[in-house]
Chain A
Amino acid sequence: VRKMAERPEDLNLPNAVITRIIKEALPDGVNVSKEARSAISRAASVFVLYATSCANNFAMKSKRKTLSASDVLAAMEEMEFDRFITPLKDALEAYKREQKGKKEASEQKKKDKKPESEEHDKSKEDENEEDPEGVKMVEDDQKEIENEEEDVDN
């Protein structure tokens, strides 16, 4: 279990990534000063905090302790970033497909190792679906957050 990082730079987003996103949004030949890039990066961190807080309000309203993707979508509407909703939904669909593919690949590996079949009866999971996007495997997702950290931490 990773401890919560306390270094100030961990509340910032990686400069190289922010710079790349900015550059790809702009025409070729446009430059961004270091101060401007730093301000945009800070704005992005503030956006994460604000969006998280807003999404969390929706989760709490529904008496859920786990923030879901649909809470985030609701937050975008609340924050008047309606233009983000469609691209976000598209990205979520692609992400879910990708995660499903990874999961099936690793389950296949397990099956190959173990002859006896394990019952993963996900369809009988709790149907208290506050999340209309169909995120059923909340607990697996939470475990996966821990696993994912090794993969995605640059």
Chain B
Amino acid sequence: MEELESGVAVAEPGQSLQLEAEAEAERPGSAPLPGLHHKLLRLPLSRIKGLMKADPDVSLASQEAVFAIGKATELFVEVIAKDAYTFALQGKRKTIQRKDVDNAVDATDEFAFLEGTLD
């Protein structure tokens, strides 16, 4: 969606992580530096882990696996939000509505696993 940013630079996911990595390397474990608002993970690990444990086939997960699922989920939210936005734009709206999300799900093969789950 870069063409909609009208001059505002949007960091690629890899770039913002570089900043985080450097900040973390300087002050491991501490709060992010002021002005640097890209945390490594926003979703709480405990919540992610709770969801994972809902699967009876899952016995144990390494902390890195929980983090990886959490991070993948954040990336997923970004993608589906942006896709929904393209449909809002088509409808000449600046507010994303439920039907835009539905259209985004229908339009993308990788989102097929969501069919029937959002109702």
Binding site for B on A (CB under 8 A): 4-5, 10-11, 13-14, 17-18, 20-22, 24-33, 35-36, 39-40, 42-53, 55-56, 60, 65-69, 71-73, 76, 79-81, 83-84, 86-88, 90-102, 105, 131, 133, 135, 138, 141-142, 144-145, 148-149, 152-154
Contact = CB atoms under 8 A, between A and B. Distances in A.
A149 B74 contact: no
B68 A69 contact: yes
Contacts, number: 251
B17 A87 contact: yes
Closest 5 CB pairs between A and B?
A101-B28, A72-B68, A87-B13, A67-B61, A25-B78
Interface residues of B, number: 74
A25 B60 contact: no
Contacts of A152: 44-46
B14 A105 contact: no
B44 to A, nearest CB: 5
B43 A13 contact: yes
Contacts of B1: 26-27
Interface of B: 1, 4-5, 8, 13-14, 17-18, 20-21, 24-25, 28-29, 40-55, 57-69, 71-82, 84-85, 88, 94-98, 100-102, 105, 109-111, 113-114, 117-118
Given A13-B47, A80-B109, A47 B76 contact: yes
Contacts of A32: 81, 95-96
A66 B61 contact: yes
A130 B87 CA distance: 42
A105 B29 CA distance: 9
A60 to B, nearest CB: 7
B68 A92 contact: yes
A91 B66 CA distance: 12
Contacts of B57: 53, 56, 60
A154 B42 CA distance: 10
Interface centre among A31, A91, A100 (most CB of B within 10 A): A91
A30 B85 contact: yes
B96 to A, nearest CB: 5
Given A4-B53, A90-B14, A94-B17, A44 B65 contact: no
